[in-house]
Amino acid sequence: MAIKVLKPGLATTVQDAGRTGYYNVGIPLSGALDQYSFRAANLLVGNDENTAVLECALMGPELEFQRDAVIAVTGAEMVPKLNGALASRNEALMVKAGTVVSFDFMRTGARAYIAIAGGIDVPVVLGSRSTYGLGAFGGFQGRKLQTGDIVPVAAPKRAAKVGKRVAHDLAMPLPKELELRVVPGLYFHRITDESARTFFEDTWAVAPEADRIGYRYKQGRPLKFKERAQPFGAGSDPSNIVDAGYPYGSIQVPGGLEPIILHRDAVSGGGYAMIGTVIGADMDRIAQMQPNNKARFVKVDLDAALAARADRNQRLQRLRAALA
Amino acid sequence: MATGTARYSHGADEHIFVELSEEMSLDAFFKGMAITTALTKKKVPGVTEICPANASYQVRFDPDVTHPREMMKLLQQLERDMGSVELQLNTRIIEIPVLYDDPWTTETLMRFRERHQDPASTDIRYAARINDYPSVDEFIAAHSGSPWFVSMVGFVAGLPFLYQLVERAKQIEVPKYLRPRTDTPKLTVGHGGCFGCIYSVRGAGGYQMFGITPAPIFDPAQGLSYLKDFMCLFRPGDIVKFKAIDRDAYDAALKQVQAGTFKLRIRPVDFAMKKFLADPAGYNRQIEEVLYGN
């Protein structure tokens, strides 16, 4: 079974739960940016929840199915169309052989997930089927899908139940304004007390440069770094440090101007001071932010981060129970 | 070695970041290697990433398996345990041929001249001048004369950061470009701050460009013999010795790369910090003998 790419969309890639264990040589996590919606899509079509899917950013693809298949579309509000007829999101859909699946424009959210029963059948590279674009490996030939690609799909492990749905309260929320919880730390002590305050006071807008590597934010007041004689090996700008590893979710502010939150295709290290880290539970929510969506950063401590993590885990458990 | 100078920070719930020293030093790098090596051996449940860097390291883990505060205690204990350990590294020395002042990086640096501190010069001439070398040849002799530690691998897949094994007064230091370039040839040998690097893929970059190596260092297809085990050549702790080559040798090497027969000189070596500090130049000669002996 395979699907033919008639139009690739803006940035459609194969992703799964991601690739662990290679960040020490610069190979990032990769994987679906919104892991919750990714898992929901798989559970809807009867896949193991870590099965490879298609992730679509901002504009969906047009796909021709060569055989009957069950699919589900989750994440961003991007309504699927089967041979032009509108169908439902967050629901297991029957797609007959020869059907063209296309999508309405993305209303809210930034990433939709298309799971197909059986899963996208590309080679496993370093433990994952996820695409790593900068390294040009994983996924479908190490790149975004292009017109004419024939994407292989594996045989389903179990029969999918057409019509299975994610209840509204268990779907990924898609607000246009949200609060992102941050544990200050790393090099937070390098910014002035005033900047340490304004960073959390200001409302920030997602800049057009927001992708799988990182999300850039603008419109807040610039941050000032404390003056110092730069340590040996650090660059000359006060926002520079001796090149270090960047945690996934860490926030760097090159030149003090625009904060960048590194996401799952992160550059693994460099010489810009990181002022804190977005909590694990909020990383999926960043994935659904469109350019110009607004965020406020909220200072939390480690215990709050762990409590939010427990809430997220419980929600995922309820999703699993609901779709079992 | 002094202990208790390290700074520990939670990177939210899934990371711990440890700055061993604010400034770059061989001591901090070595300590990071020792701690991360010991941590890897410990096989702590839930740990997924252990990343040594120049003068720091970070760990990523599942906090549902090991609590972040437990993890921090464990890392602090590891640092204390290192206090009395002889700093020794069982590693490899790898010879990397370089065509310095080559046509490809020169073409690229000319395209981005307005982003450079000294638009009238080239990167290597500028670096030679501000590091007080009377000529580019003498600069190349210094760059390729003493070995370098791979002090970190990252930014992108397989890219080594390199720290030269010489006294601080002899370290080559250059600023990064005023504004980063949008293009850098693959396999460019670069330098920024006190760090050398080899660009593993083509792309943006801010380091000064001194030359290019014909030796692939990252290849997902794993075509060459030395990349069969893993797609990235370098690991933190490797030692690199650059060798200046001419255009004919470069072209010959490229032909071998294309034919899939290209090989690198790689030898196992033990590096002892104490011996190096006692006599850096003499110890570097010993390491080179390992590389070129039989």
Q: How many angstroms away from the CA of A119 is the closest CA of chain B?
A: 23
Calculate mean pLDDT across residues B109-127. 95
Tell me: pLDDT of B86 over 80.
no
Q: Does domain A177-314 have CATH number 2.30.30.60?
A: no
Q: How many angstroms away from the CA of B136 is the closest CA of chain A?
A: 23
ipTM: 0.96
Tell me: pLDDT of A99 over 80.
yes
Angle at A153 between CA A148 and CA A154, to 5 degrees: 160
Cβ distance of B23 and A242 shorter than 8 Å: yes
| Tens-place pLDDT, residues A46-69 | 999 999 999 999 999 999 999 999
Cβ distance of B193 and A243 shorter than 8 Å: yes
- Classify domain B7-85 by CATH architecture: 2-Layer Sandwich (3.30)
| Tens-place pLDDT, residues A116-163 | 999 999 999 999 999 999 999 999 999 999 999 999 999 999 999 999
Fold held by B90-292: Cyclophilin (2.40.100)
List all residues of chain A from 140 to 169 with a beta carbon under 8 Å from chain B: 142
Tell me: pLDDT of B251 over 90.
yes
Tell me: pLDDT of B294 over 90.
no
> pLDDT band at residue B1, thresholds of 50, 70 and 90?
very low
Number of C-beta neighbours around residue A147 at 10 A: 11
Q: Is A202 exposed, middle or buried (CB count within 10 Å of its CB: 0-12, 13-18, 19+)?
A: middle
Nearest to B11 among A21, A142, A186 (CB): A186
The tokens describing B125, both together, are 């001439």
Kindly state the percentage of chain B with pLDDT values over 90.
Answer: 90
- By C-alpha distance, the chain B residue nearest A281 is B13
Q: Chain B partners of A182 at a C-beta cutoff of 8 Å?
A: 12
Cβ distance of A302 and B69 shorter than 8 Å: yes
Cβ distance of B15 and A236 shorter than 8 Å: no
In degrees and rounded to multiples of 5, residue A33 shows phi and psi of: -65, -40
> pLDDT band at residue B84, thresholds of 50, 70 and 90?
low
| Tens-place pLDDT, residues B5-26 | 899 999 999 999 999 999 999 9
Instruction: Please state, rounded to an integer, the average pLDDT across all residues of chain B.
Output: 94
> pLDDT band at residue A28, thresholds of 50, 70 and 90?
very high
- By C-alpha distance, the chain A residue nearest B57 is A245
The tokens describing B183, both together, are 């293009």
Give me the pLDDT at residue B82, please. Answer: 85
Calculate mean pLDDT across residues B206-214. 96
Give me the pLDDT at residue B116, please. Answer: 93
Cβ distance of B51 and A132 shorter than 8 Å: no
| Tens-place pLDDT, residues A220-255 | 999 999 999 999 998 888 999 999 999 999 999 988
Measured CA distances, A246 to A183, A231, A239, B57, B58 (Å) = 15, 19, 14, 10, 8
Cβ distance of A279 and B13 shorter than 8 Å: yes
> pLDDT band at residue B4, thresholds of 50, 70 and 90?
low
Cβ distance of B159 and A305 shorter than 8 Å: no
DSSP H or E stretch at residue A152: strand A150-152
| Tens-place pLDDT, residues B151-164 | 999 999 999 999 99
Give me the pLDDT at residue B88, please. Answer: 85
Tell me: pLDDT of A282 over 70.
yes
Tell me: pLDDT of B274 over 80.
yes
What are the domain boundaries of chain A?
A: 2-170, 177-314
Asked if the C-beta of B11 comes within 8 angstroms of chain A's C-beta atoms, the answer is: yes
Give me the pLDDT at residue B157, please. Answer: 96
Write down the pTM of the prediction.
0.95
Kindly state the percentage of chain A with pLDDT values over 70.
Answer: 100
Give me the pLDDT at residue B12, please. Answer: 98
Give me the pLDDT at residue B293, please. Answer: 85
Tell me: pLDDT of A264 over 90.
yes
For chain A, give the number of residues: 324
Q: Chain A partners of B156 at a C-beta cutoff of 8 Å?
A: 26, 134-135, 267-268
Tell me: pLDDT of B3 over 60.
no
Virtual CA dihedral for B99, B100, B104, B106, nearest 10 degrees? Answer: -170
Give me the pLDDT at residue A82, please. Answer: 98
